[in-house]
Chains A and B, each alone.
Chain A
Amino acid sequence: MKAADVVRFATRSATGYPLRTALLILAMAIGVAAVVTLTALGDGARRYVINEFSALGSNLVIVLPGRSETRGFNPANAITGTPRDLTIDDAQSLARLPTVRRVAPLIIGTSEISAGGKLREVMIAGTTSQYAEVRHLAMAQGRFLPEEDWSRGSPYVVLGATVRNDLFGSEPAIGRLVRLGDRRFRVVGVLNPIGTGLGMNSDEIAIVPVSLAQAMFNSNTLFRVLIEARHREAIEPAKAQVLKQLTERHEGEEDVTVITQDAVLATFDRLLGALTFGVAGIAAISLAVAGILVMNVMLVAVTQRTSEIGLLKALGATGGAIRNAFLAEAAMLSLAGAIVGYGLGQLGSALIRHLYPTFPAYPPAWAVMAGLGTALVTGVLFGVMPARHAARMDPVQALAKR
């Protein structure tokens, strides 16, 4: 029997029982669609978080005041009490480290901003000129904060895109004066619209020199120090040097936490990657169930067509030809189910992307391959048993069946 004839014969068998074929394809399709859509969700979550973190900057080392205790209770902490402030001088001292390219101190607070009779609440970020490079912020108009003495900032402000629109609408903003709290600042620049990054919406902030922000909030401590290492390989040495430097400056007490963006990224990557694998695994169960269904349906088909198998044998079909015909049918049903499921899965992913435009819900290539592959393999694998059953049938008994 020629391959083309095997395929044609199997096709006629499949189309000869449309309801059975449709249900089987549906079962297989649901399995594959589940794999595609769920992995799209999982991988979309991973990509979303990674993007958010990458938007923060590159080769970042971040210093947080206070020690996140991971070594159990230290009696010394109970006596020494509150941690020391993380000061502007601390931050400035880090800029001299050999592995460090840029340093930007950061203090965050909220205040009212007003201009021309318009008033709104705004998040204030106090920092220095290098913040723009560290965070990869692009300017829509004007320039960023000028390079100057960190402890004596000029009253300049850089506005986020939304803040600028709220205050000035279509009028030009550069050079205008705004009031922040009880101080007046001149607008020197406007940021490009960016959107949300890790809960901090860069479109909704006003950036001022760090010393002025400290004065406004009456605080000496920094919220964060953002450090850009010279290159990727310098991240770990930079982390060690920063920790050593700050410990020395704080009289030997390790009261800051230094984290690297890479470590955070890698952790999230692993975590969400595992999540994706997990949901793929759960979806794969439905594929296995579909495979068992293929076996069941094919066994029924063999029983239904017993007399036909007897006839084919009488007409000179070898066991191999009969086995191939049934295997081809199982494979075709699985393939059709896999293709329909792939389409449904992509449709589902597209729907998710349509509903949540910021969420990159694309199924990863490995999952699509694995889903289609598993569908075919289970379909054929579970088709083997019924096909062998058919091939071994005794023709006399098979013919006697009506």
Chain B
Amino acid sequence: MPQIELRSIERVFTLGDSEVHALRTLDLAVEAGEYIAIMGPSGSGKSTLLNLLGLLDRPNSGTYLLEGRDVTTLTAEEQARVRRERIGFVFQSFHLVPRLTAAENIALPMMLAGIPHGERSRRVAQALKDYGLASRADHRPDQLSGGQRQRVAIARATIMHPAMILADEPTGNLDRATGEDVMGLLEGLNASGVTLIVVTHDAVLGNRARRRVAMEDGRKVEDR
């Protein structure tokens, strides 16, 4: 049984009186522990696909089976729970809460999940150490470098031990060396068994993945 199974997914946006088909009859199956790059020019539907995979968006038709369970019919509350426990997000612009410290940002998903305070601080301390941020725990995002910010974001994405990590242009705002560093971290996580799905229009970055899905005009044009 694949970890992720998309069956003839359609996603249509209505802009004024014209309809935009962001995704057309898309089928995709992903096994646990895969490393996939979703590539394509902007407007090809790759971000829409990532949002659907992350349960931030619902398809107009088709089914999405996550670990064998149809998640498209779940209520908003249940979807929030799945996001919390199974999915980790990494964004191009980091999306850290500016008034919270690095440690507090990392702890956010655990706070939302209602994990007790002691357990939280223990796991945050471990994550800070793992990602080389121990001396930055009490710094706010504006006191951190781009690479450090993305490491905080990755620590936050993994703190709940999700089954998959969805990364949307994770190196888009970073210089080449720092981006390399961040990709190394993500690939290390993948090596430990976490499914890694990276959306990018950067061919070099995409070629690092073991499987590449190319999108064009809402369709999957290549999958190898």
Contacts and interface: CB of A to CB of B under 8 A. Distances in A.
Nearest to B116: A2
Contacts of B112: 1, 312, 315-317, 321
Contacts of A310: 95
A1 B95 contact: no
B57 interface: yes
A315 B114 contact: no
B93 A315 contact: no
Most chain A C-beta atoms within 10 Å of own C-beta, residue among B56, B87, B89, B109: B56
A315 B56 contact: no
A12 B93 contact: no
A13 B89 contact: no
Interface in A1-29: 1-2, 5, 9, 12-13, 15-16
Nearest to A8: B111
Interface residues of B, number: 30
Given A315-B156, A316-B81, A396 B109 contact: no
A319 B114 contact: no
A396 B57 contact: yes
A316 B56 contact: no
B91 A399 contact: yes
Contacts of A313: 56, 80, 83
Interface in B66-106: 76-77, 80-85, 87, 89, 91, 93, 95, 97-100, 104
A315 B89 contact: yes
A316 B159 CA distance: 13
B97 A314 contact: no
A307 B81 contact: no
Interface in A117-162: none
A320 B108 contact: no
A311 B111 contact: no
B111 A9 contact: yes
B51 interface: yes
B99 A315 contact: no
The A interface is mostly helix, strand or loop, or mixed, namely helix
A5 B100 CA distance: 14
A70 B195 CA distance: 95
Nearest to A314: B89
Interface residues of A, number: 26
A13 B99 contact: yes
Contact of B109 (A2, A15, A316, A399): A316
B82 to A, nearest CB: 8
A308 interface: yes
A16 B56 CA distance: 27
Nearest to A392: B76
Nearest to B112: A317
Contacts of B111: 1-2, 5, 9
B144 interface: no
Contacts of A12: 99-100, 104
B93 A402 contact: yes
Nearest to B159: A315
B96 to A, nearest CB: 8
A319 B56 CA distance: 13
A344 B100 CA distance: 32
B99 A312 contact: no
Contacts of B54: 314
Contacts of A316: 80-85, 87, 109, 112-113, 160
A112 B100 CA distance: 82
B59 to A, nearest CB: 13
Nearest first, the 7 closest Cβ-Cβ pairs linking A and B are A316-B84, A16-B99, A316-B83, A318-B80, A395-B56, A311-B95, A315-B109
5 contacts: A5-B114, A9-B111, A12-B104, A315-B156, A316-B160
Interface of B: 51, 54, 56-57, 76-77, 80-85, 87, 89, 91, 93, 95, 97-100, 104, 108-109, 111-114, 156, 160
Given A315-B108, A319-B76, 9 more contacts: A2-B114, A9-B111, A312-B108, A314-B89, A315-B83, A316-B83, A316-B113, A316-B160, A319-B77
